Amino acid sequence: MKRRTALSLILAGLLLPSLASTALAELKLPSVIGDNMVLQRDREVPVWGWDDAGTTVTVTLGVAEVSANADEEGRWLVNLPAMEAGGPHTLTVKGTNTAEVTNVAIGEVWLCSGQSNMEWIVNNSNNPEEERAAADYPMIRHIKIPHTPAATPQSDVPSDGWQVTTPQTVGTFTAVGYFFGRHLHKELDVPIGLIGSNWGGTRIEPWTPPEGFQHVRDLADIAENLDQYPQKKEDGSINHQSPLALYNGMISPLLPYAIRGAIWYQGESNNGEGMLYYQKMRALIHGWRTVWDNPEMPFYYVQLAPFRYGGDPERLPGIWEAQTATLAVSNTGMAVTVDIGNVEDIHPRNKQDVGKRLALWALANTYGHDNLVYSGPIYRSMEIKEDTIRIFFDHTGSGLVSRDDQPLTHFQIAGPDGEFVDATAEIDGDSVVVRAEGVDDPRSVRFAWHQEAEPNLSNKEGLPASPFRTGR
């Protein structure tokens, strides 16, 4: 559909919902509903907008036709019936005037959120020329949500709308999101919609809804003071790093757009928080599932890559431990990246494998692809026997291997004194046996417990083992 000028969209975003008390005199749709969009298949699809109070608004898509009246505030909402994947379609909305949304596809829709490693674009990733040249995927679409902190939950946010994937457009897409979506598209053969709502350098707190903080007892200090957030800067602008700021401005405007799930790449800005970050992940996941009214909404995330942050080298492993613990939350998954990072660059350029690894989790757990190895080895348990500790893993695939055919690296062992020393480790079936000279009474093991660790333990499918420590 033809959009109004950027200025009018910005003004509309600022005035809503205050526009509710005045006559709109025309039908308005949120920016997330527009030409080239992808609607979620196989479930009811909300379509909403604004018009004069009391106006009957009729929405038509294919053979489906649903009507609703705009309420006293001018807002209306209809739910289209569940539809199968396909397209292109035209969505017609008739109210005070008529709007047509063209080239609509029906498929799988994913939210792509987090900080800079999710915002990182295809143009700045590995092989950008080749990736642009190969980007002929008219049924993969992307919308970028601009950086928009807000003091209260917003009803709309200005954007440039949905873009079809072409060599001319793909360069500015979220790279992790695009490579995730491309792998799904090839495997599922359905349209893919990617909503890029992300902002480099941001903490997790501003993305989290109030319901998330209220759900987690360890975050009571935030939950009990929500009326104080978001905070203002000295110049009167919104502090985009304060709780609720980006939920209000960059997530709330997307509601209730139907999505399948979310992918998340964030944590660098919360480095050093250890297991508190696990509590914040719980809050984010519960909060998003609550506002989307989907208690089991899939949530897949990226474990941070090794990087030379400086300072305490165990701060990053503390975040790794928190991210691994988050796997205990139902319907989550974690892409491990210890083998595809760059300790000299906090933005590793290989986003292709990151996206693919997230897609493997989705294919296995969301789309039911059986017999798919979708994770590298994850620590399960240990067994102490004389001067050795045997480590058992989940997700060993068709077997454990050293990725570079060299002895296993980054294993350490400790005795009763808790002092860790470098250890030798050998693969024995689906387990690893760890020992060290001089440690006759071992008590615990840790693996890759250093911010620069790039260990070589993997399964034969090429997915790396996640860092861990025992005895916690």
Residue 303 tokens read as 């474990």
Q: What pairs with residue 420 in β-bridges?
A: 414
In the chain, ranges of CATH 2.60.40.10 domains: 6-103
Other beta carbons less than 10 A from residue 371's beta carbon: 5
Contacts of 333 (CB under 8 A, 6+ apart): 298, 299, 300, 301, 327, 358, 361, 362, 365, 374, 375
Considering the domain delimited by 112-119+122-365, tell me its CATH architecture: 3-Layer(aba) Sandwich (3.40)
Q: What share of the chain in percent tops pLDDT 70?
A: 95
Delimit the CATH 3.40.50.1110 region(s) of the chain: 112-119+122-365
468 pLDDT above the threshold of 70 = yes
CB 328 within 8 A of CB 97: no
pLDDT tens for 183-216 read 999 999 999 999 999 999 999 999 999 999 999 9
pLDDT in tens, 123-162: 999 999 999 999 999 999 999 999 999 999 999 999 999 9
Q: How confident is the model at residue 471 (pLDDT cuts 50, 70, 90)?
A: confident
Q: pLDDT value at position 22?
A: 42
Q: Name residue, tokens 């539809």.
A: 83
The pLDDT of residue 25 is above 80 = no
**Residue 44 to residue 30: CA distance in whole angstroms:** 18
3-state secondary structure of 445: strand
Residue 415 tokens read as: 């005795």
At residue 12, the pLDDT reads 41
For 142, the token pair is 């992307």
pLDDT of residue 13: 43
Q: Which CATH class is domain 6-103?
A: mainly beta
pLDDT of residue 184: 98
Q: Closest Cα partner for 458 from 388, 415, 400?
A: 400
Mean pLDDT, residues 264-292 = 98
Span 60-92, pLDDT tens digits: 999 999 999 999 999 999 999 999 999 999 999
Pair 142, 172: CB distance under 8 Å: no
Instruction: Render pLDDT for 377-416 as a digit per residue (tens, 0 to 9).
Output: 999 999 999 999 999 999 999 999 999 999 999 999 999 9
pLDDT > 90 in the chain, percent:
94
pLDDT of 14 > 60? The answer is no
Question: How far is 113 from 95, CA to CA, in rounded Å?
Answer: 34
* Both tokens assigned to 94: 């008739």
Residue of 269 and 14 predicted with greater confidence: 269
pLDDT value of residue 24:
52
Lowest-pLDDT range of 11-20, 334-343, 457-466 = 11-20
Token pair, residue 149, equals 């902190």
Ranges 20-24, 196-200, 246-250, 394-398: which has the least confidence: 20-24
pLDDT at 20 (0 to 100): 39
